[in-house]
């Protein structure tokens, strides 16, 4: 016990906003078991990657797409041997929980009654990029582009629908399940949507590489996987 106290440290974790609830639940048991403290920096993966590129002091990065991690690896900013893809997700179209709107295909988004579609920034944020890819594949992007309300991250897109500032939104299934103020109008079939992957890796400039790797390993444990599964994530 004395040794664990001596070695205990603070692990700074930058993680995609869609992981917020699951990571906060996982944190309690992990901190109690390990003696380490976890400090989360949650947001859009693109913003978090940019912070690491600019030298922000982080120990572990969990992205919502492989592209951001690839960029950091090419620049030598993560430890390649630590990199693991730990989770997957799917997209859903959401509406306010009290809405009677019916959406049975992405083509229904063209309907003139739908004026605002919230999704994360489609040029830079993984959730938005995934949504745009899906709508392009479905052949409706050009017809709904003017309706898009871009947000800073996927949680902000969820909030836009919760507040009624958007008629519908496209978010991860896990985000939709976290809110009582929205409901899933259409779940994108796995075979039709983009492949969504959450890679994690230790940051090269971390001064707590051993502790960061320990937490990354814990995220792949049975206890952590049970939490992720309960929040709707898909496990490899």
Token readout for 53 is: 């590129």
- In a 13 Å sphere around the CA of 219, the CA atoms on its Cβ side amount to 31
Predicted TM-score (pTM) of the model is 0.90
Tell me which residue has tokens 């492989």.
66
C-beta separation of 141 from 194 below 8 A: no
Cα 150 from Cα 14, distance rounded (Å): 22
* Confidence label for 8 from pLDDT (cuts 50, 70 and 90): confident
Task: Give the model confidence (pLDDT) of 101-130 as tens digits.
Answer: 999 999 999 999 999 999 999 999 999 999
Q: Is 119 exposed, middle or buried (0-12, 13-18, 19+ CB in 10 A)?
A: buried
- Could you tell me the domains of the chain? 2-88+197-230 (3.40.190.10), 91-187 (3.40.190.10)
C-beta separation of 227 from 211 below 8 A: no
Task: Give the model confidence (pLDDT) of 167-222 as tens digits.
Answer: 999 999 999 999 999 999 999 998 899 999 999 999 999 999 999 999 999 999 99
């Amino acid at each position: 016990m004395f040794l664990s106290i001596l070695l205990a440290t603070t692990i700074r974790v930058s993680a995609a906003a869609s992981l917020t609830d699951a990571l906060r639940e996982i944190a309690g048991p992990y901190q109690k078991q390990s003696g380490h403290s976890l400090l989360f920096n949650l947001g859009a993966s693109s913003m978090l990657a940019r912070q690491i590129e600019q030298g922000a002091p982080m120990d572990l990065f969990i992205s919502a797409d492989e592209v951001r991690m690839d960029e950091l690896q090419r620049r030598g900013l993560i430890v390649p041997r630590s990199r693991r893809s730990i989770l997957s997700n799917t997209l859903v179209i959401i509406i306010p929980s009290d809405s009677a709107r019916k959406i049975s295909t992405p083509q229904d988004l063209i309907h003139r009654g739908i004026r605002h579609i919230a999704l994360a920034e489609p040029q830079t944020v993984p959730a938005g990029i995934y949504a745009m890819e899906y709508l392009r594949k479905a052949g409706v992007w050009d017809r709904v582009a003017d309706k898009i309300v871009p947000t800073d991250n996927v949680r902000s897109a969820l909030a836009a629908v919760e507040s009624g500032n958007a008629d519908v939104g496209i978010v991860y299934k896990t985000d939709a399940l976290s809110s009582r103020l929205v409901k899933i109008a259409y779940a994108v079939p796995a075979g039709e949507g983009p492949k969504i992957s959450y890679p994690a890796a230790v940051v090269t400039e971390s001064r707590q590489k051993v502790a960061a790797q320990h937490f990354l390993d814990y995220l792949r444990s049975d206890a952590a996987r049970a939490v992720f599964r309960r929040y709707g994530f898909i496990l490899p």
